[in-house]
Amino acid sequence: MHRLPWIGVLRARTLAAAVVVALGAAAAPVAAQTGGEAAKASDVLRFTVAPEGNEARYRVREQLARLNFPNDAVGATSQIEGGITVRPDGTVVREESRFVIDLASLRTDSERRDNYVRRRTLETETYPTAVFVPTELRGLSFPLPTSGESTFEIVGDLTIRGVTRPTTWEVTARFEEGAVSGLAKTQFTFDDFQIEKPRVASVLSVADEIRLEYEFRLLAR
């Protein structure tokens, strides 16, 4: 054995080579998988709420004691976050799509009304946000245009005060390179979301219907 030291060296080199080959074979599928996941992640269209150009509004018809005609109480906020992700065929990726509205930041032309709505109507200390999760686009063709205007519907689940109901929004959108803007509208009753109608002396009556509007600007990511 002392006359053949090269046998030990050869065996060591052979073992090292085998380890390198084995590690390379194990790493190859991981690299291929990582590349596949990246390709899959890039194979979607993502639109997120832009820093400016977004406002959510509610409109409720009311009859005030001091007026001889009905008018709309309008509350609005620009505190909106989220976005929508769709596949090239128009399928909504639900787990990556949601819009969150800060209800406590809603403001009308009356601070007294705002305080009442926050405390009694929407209970924003307990339910601070409204959440809309899009699930389907209807009437919108793909691939999306890079210019022009389109009308379509967005169907999804709206949650207010812990109550979730399916809602359909009518949308008019304007497309441009890298962005889409427009107006989405829907409506429902107080009872649909188990919301108590405002009851104060200065308001003679409140209509059953609540109209929601979302003036949006979304950026492609």
pLDDT at 66: 67
Inter-residue contact 47 to 218 (CB < 8 Å): yes
Q: What is the pLDDT along the chain (221 residues), one digit of tens a residue?
A: 444 443 343 344 444 444 333 334 334 443 344 334 433 556 899 999 999 999 999 999 887 766 655 789 899 999 999 999 999 999 999 999 999 999 999 999 989 989 999 999 999 999 999 999 999 999 999 999 889 999 999 999 999 999 999 999 999 999 999 999 999 999 999 999 999 887 765 666 788 999 999 999 999 98
> What residues pair up with 31 in beta bridges, in sequence order?
none
pLDDT at 201: 59
Helices (H), ranges, the chain: 5-42, 111-116
Q: What letter does residue 24 receive in the DSSP assignment?
A: H
Total domains, the chain: 2
User: Which residue is it, tokens 């009442």?
Assistant: 116
**Are residues 34 and 123 part of one domain?**
no
**Are residues 203 and 96 part of one domain?**
yes
**Are residues 22 and 127 part of one domain?**
no
> What residues pair up with 38 in beta bridges, in sequence order?
none
Phi, psi (deg, nearest 5) at residue 103: -70, -30
**Are residues 105 and 21 part of one domain?**
no
What residues contact residue 28 under an 8 Å CB cut-off, 6+ apart? none
Here the CATH number for the domain that contains residue 147 is 2.40.128.110
Q: Which domain holds residue 121?
A: 44-220
pLDDT at 69: 59
Please state the pTM of the whole predicted model: 0.79
**Are residues 90 and 16 part of one domain?**
no
Where are the extended beta strands (E) located within the chain? 45-49, 55-64, 71-77, 80-86, 98-102, 129-138, 148-160, 163-176, 179-189, 203-206, 209-220
pLDDT at 38: 35
pLDDT at 36: 40
